[in-house]
């Protein structure tokens, strides 16, 4: 009988997988807290939906900057060292968000939190992609991505508990305070997660950040960035506003949490299924099928006149397809860029997508002033996912690519070895 793939990993692969999975789970928990406290902040601080959307956008915009900087630093100073720093950073500023006294203070704390959040994904994704062998890379990186759903579930659990036992004025602050927990993960990473062997062998081949804009790589950088814009713009347009959308349907805190648990269950399943499909049918086809499924799911969930019972059921495919769009992206981007500039290329592309995609929550907020919230979510999300499909169709398939320390860049149907400019 063939052994389950996780049992075939060696000790280094397993410890790296655990560290990156935990990091992404706690990253997801800290970020998704905001979507749960959003309805309360609107009531307590008397802010409009436009300002509420801006709070969500601020973290995403700064996370794009953090991802670019962390990717560049990871190519210079190592993947593990920078990963530790980003984990501590986003944990501390999530915690401090719980002490904000007004809109402007929370806007500043959210932005600073975003710097670390963007960096954690950029570096963790490169580290796991370089550590896991090609045969299991798609499944491993997708499994790490599924940690986001686990973190989201913890955020939903804390939401149900804190808003049940505390007053709203204290409950929303407690939601942010538990965000300090990820700081302890940095200790595990320091002790048990070794530096990527691929990176260690390629230190002497250090490349320039600007090389990702060279003629040989520019097309890849541009298309990868656009695919990331679509994935993240669609995801954040939906999930930043989902608790408020459910709340607008007259659901209580307890019922909202129950509905979100169904979405989260679909999300975790989508991460896992998409990750396995990426290794079986390829990165490109998986990254085309899932955003198309997400378009169908969000239109049914937010536009059709459906009952609360149907809304509950449709939460599963909504979470399944919107989260499944992410699983192959880490492995795909890792394989698209050469080792010497992988952190820079992967960090820039994904976080350019996050930066531009961060506009979508604000667009939903402003669009909902003149249109129903559900329709505003659907228009923004569907537009983003269709952009992703077009971009992915123009990129090459990379399944099975072995990562060489010299750095292999894929562009169209050709393979080109990049020489270091230094």
- Domain annotation covers residue 422: no
Residue among 404, 368, 71 at smallest CA distance from 224: 71
- Domain annotation covers residue 1: no
Q: How far apart are CA 188 and CA 193, in angstroms?
A: 7
Asked if residue 201 lies in contact with residue 79, where contact means CB atoms within 8 angstroms, the answer is no
Note down the domain range covering 348.
Answer: 10-188+205-417
Q: Match 């990750």 to its residue by tokens.
A: 275
Q: How far apart are CA 323 and CA 297, in angstroms?
A: 12
Residue range 230-240: mean pLDDT, rounded? 90
Residue range 40-58: mean pLDDT, rounded? 81
- Domain annotation covers residue 195: no
Q: What tokens appear for 142 in the block?
A: 């997708």
- Domain annotation covers residue 153: yes
Average model confidence (pLDDT) across the chain = 82
Overall residue count recorded for the chain in this entry? 422
DSSP 34-61: HHHHHHHHHHHH---HHHHHHHHHHHHH
Residue range 5-22: mean pLDDT, rounded? 85
Q: How far apart are CA 82 and CA 19, in angstroms?
A: 13
- Domain annotation covers residue 198: no
CATH number of the domain encompassing residue 310: 1.20.1250.20
Angstrom distances, CA of residue 72 to CA of 16, 169, 204, 216, 245: 21, 40, 16, 19, 38
Q: How far apart are CA 332 and CA 271, in angstroms?
A: 15
Q: How far apart are CA 33 and CA 96, in angstroms?
A: 13
Among 118-132, 139-153, 267-281, 354-368, whose mean pLDDT is lowest? Answer: 118-132
Maximum separation of any 2 CA atoms in the chain, in Å: 62
Query: Tell me, what's the pLDDT at 207?
Result: 53
Q: What tokens appear for 133 in the block?
A: 């062998």
- Domain annotation covers residue 194: no
Q: How far apart are CA 214 and CA 221, in angstroms?
A: 9
Residue range 330-351: mean pLDDT, rounded? 82
Count CA within 13 A, CB hemisphere, residue 13.
19
| Per-residue model confidence as pLDDT tens digits over 76-130 | 787 888 888 888 888 888 899 999 999 999 999 988 888 877 777 778 777 887 8
- Domain annotation covers residue 193: no
Residue among 76, 95, 58 at smallest CA distance from 181: 95
Query: Tell me, what's the pLDDT at 1?
Result: 61
Q: For the chain, what percent of residues have pLDDT higher than 70?
A: 91
- Domain annotation covers residue 330: yes
Predicted TM-score (pTM) of the model is: 0.73
46-50, 114-118, 132-136, 162-166 — most confident range: 162-166
Among 16-20, 78-82, 161-165, 196-200, whose mean pLDDT is lowest? Answer: 196-200
Domain count, the chain: 1
Q: What tokens appear for 30 in the block?
A: 């800290």
């Amino acid at each position: 009988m063939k052994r389950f793939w996780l049992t075939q990993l060696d000790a280094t692969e397993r410890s790296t997988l655990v560290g990156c999975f935990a990091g992404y789970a706690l990253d997801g928990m800290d970020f998704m807290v905001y979507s749960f406290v959003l309805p309360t902040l609107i009531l307590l601080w008397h802010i409009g939906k436009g300002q509420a959307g801006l709070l969500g956008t601020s973290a995403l915009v700064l996370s794009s900057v953090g991802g670019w900087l962390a990717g560049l630093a990871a190519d210079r100073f190592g993947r593990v060292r920078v990963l530790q720093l980003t984990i501590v950073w986003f944990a501390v500023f999530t915690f401090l968000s719980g002490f904000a006294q007004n809109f402007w203070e929370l806007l500043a704390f959210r932005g600073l939190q975003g710097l670390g959040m963007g960096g954690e994904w950029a570096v963790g994704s490169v580290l796991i992609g370089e550590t896991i062998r090609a045969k299991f890379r798609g499944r491993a990186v997708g499994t790490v991505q599924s940690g986001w759903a686990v973190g989201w579930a913890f955020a939903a659990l804390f939401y149900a508990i804190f808003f049940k036992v505390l007053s709203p004025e204290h409950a929303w602050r407690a939601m942010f305070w538990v965000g300090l927990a990820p700081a302890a993960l940095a200790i595990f990473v320091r002790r048990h997660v070794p530096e990527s062997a691929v990176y260690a062998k390629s230190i002497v081949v250090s490349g320039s950040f600007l090389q990702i804009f060279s003629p040989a790589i520019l097309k890849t950088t541009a298309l990868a960035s656009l695919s990331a814009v679509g994935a993240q713009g669609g995801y954040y347009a939906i999930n930043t506003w989902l608790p408020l959308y459910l709340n607008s349907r007259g659901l209580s805190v307890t019922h909202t949490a129950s509905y979100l648990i169904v979405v989260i269950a679909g999300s975790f399943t989508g991460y896992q299924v998409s990750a396995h499909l990426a290794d079986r049918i390829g990165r490109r086809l998986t990254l085309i099928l899932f955003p198309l499924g997400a378009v169908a799911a969000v239109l049914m969930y937010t536009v059709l006149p459906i009952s609360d019972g149907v809304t509950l059921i449709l939460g599963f495919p909504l979470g399944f397809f919107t989260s499944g769009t992410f699983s192959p992206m880490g492995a795909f981007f890792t394989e698209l860029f050469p080792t010497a500039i992988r952190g820079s290329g992967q960090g820039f592309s994904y976080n350019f997508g996050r930066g531009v995609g961060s506009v979508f929550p604000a667009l939903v907020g402003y669009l909902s002033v003149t249109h129903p919230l559900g329709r505003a979510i659907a228009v923004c999300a569907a537009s983003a996912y269709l952009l992703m499909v077009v971009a992915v169709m123009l990129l090459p398939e990379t399944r099975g690519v072995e990562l060489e320390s010299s750095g292999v860049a894929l562009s169209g149907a050709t393979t080109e070895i990049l020489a270091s400019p230094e």
